[in-house]
Amino acid sequence: MPLSVGISGANVHDSQALVPLVQGIPPVRSHRGPRRRRPAELHADKGYDYAHLRRWLSARGIRHWIARKGMDSSQRLGRHRWVVERTISWLAGCRRLHRRYERKPEHFLAFTSIACTLICLRRLTS
């Protein structure tokens, strides 16, 4: 299920969106103990292989598996990447999001948030 959603321009590198997305994750209720305010682990591809991102994640106690440029193969993340690809395909099923009709980014973000809410509702009711 999508925990946090954000939009950016097509000319913005993916690594610049990591910090706001992780900070935007709301507290998640668990069965025992206090609410979790951060994810336990993060899987990312080679686009996020930067030392400052690794340090930022480690400082917050988030275990990370980020493929290293020139060293790791892209095949290792395939078993975790399908979750992201599946969620993107669910969002692509929303006709309004398939092609961006809104001029203001706030409106497009609102429709994306509504679509994520519908995805969560469908997952919880099935």
What does the pLDDT look like over 18-53, one tens digit per residue? 898 888 888 777 777 777 777 888 888 788 889 999
Model confidence band, residue 58 (pLDDT cutoffs 50, 70, 90): very high
Locate the DSSP E strands across the chain. Answer: 41-44, 63-66
pTM across the whole model: 0.70
Q: How is residue 71 written in tokens?
A: 């060293």
Please report, for the chain, the start and end positions of each structural domain, with discontinuous segments joined by +: 11-72
Model confidence band, residue 56 (pLDDT cutoffs 50, 70, 90): very high
